[in-house]
Amino acid sequence: RAILPELERLDADPGRFTGVTSLGVDEHLWHHGDPRRKGPKELTGMVDLTRDTDGCTRARLLDLVPGRSKKAYADWLAERGDAFRAGIGVAALDPFGGYKAAIDEQLADATAVLDAFHVVKLGTAVVDEVRRRVQQATLGHRGRTGDPLYGIATILRAGVEHLTDKQHTRLTAAINANEAHLEVYVAWRCAQDLRAAYRATDTHQGRRLAEKVLASFHTCPIPEVARLGRTLRRWRDAFLAYFTTGRANNGGTEAINGIIELHRRLARGYRNLNNYRLRMLLAAGGLTP
């Protein structure tokens, strides 16, 4: 009660939105209770990802609004005014069409960038899907101890550069155990090609590798890989923008989400959304009473 008026005063200061040139967005669950009592579970969080002169990003929470939709994000952007929107040069996001539609509508001059972590995560998920499908097709059950593909599930989620000689041997043995396992190996190599684009030390080389992914994945006879290829082609501009924006990404937004989760656990949860929003702005938004 003592600090609430001061937080509300600081929150109302339009100056805290000044100088934002790079913006991140992500969804966030603020409670796990009954929506009839606490309202929608999902919030949309906006984060300042502007880089300092030394190139470092010191992420800062700008706001939390109810809902996870185009409307939630677009309405918030519209409320910020023309000057704020005109200053945004880069808008990072996860692969959610609603947020992309809001960026296209409200930030037409900004460059939308698909987050690298989530793209690689999609590739890893494809490998898992292929492994489970082949497992069922060859043995008729989910993975069990002693099954070749089940024994390499963790190896398939790792980057090839991290594998030891022993892990390479186990991977080779599992793939050679059945001709049908070749599908799993091809999917894994595709995921590694996707990772390689982001790991390239030179962004021009990384873009060339990414363009090869766009040109080939959608024609792959493995349906899961082809689906990923079609997804990436739909997001083509935002996917390739990573290599032309100095490796812009949504990592700072994820870091802010981690701070929010920590403070929610420390408080054992919140009942009031307004108090929750202000408390998180105090923890991660730079508000200093």
Complete DSSP assignment for the chain: --SHHHHHHHHT-GGGGTT--EEEEEEEE---S-HHHH--SEEEEEEE--B-TTS-B--EEEEEEE-SSHHHHHHHHHHH-HHHHHH--EEEE-S-HHHHHHHHHH-TTSEEEE-HHHHHHHHHHHHHHHHHHHHHHHHSS---TT-HHHHTHHHHTS-GGG--HHHHHHHHHHHHT-GGGHHHHHHHHHHHHHHHHHH-SSHHHHHHHHHHHHHHGGG-SSHHHHHHHHHHHHTHHHHHGGGTTTS--SHHHHHHHHHHHHHHHHTT--S-HHHHHHHHHHHHS----
The tens digit of pLDDT for each residue in 248-279 reads: 999 999 999 999 999 988 878 788 899 999 99
Return the pLDDT at 35. 83
Return the pLDDT at 174. 96
The tens digit of pLDDT for each residue in 57-97 reads: 889 999 999 999 999 999 999 999 999 999 999 999 999 99
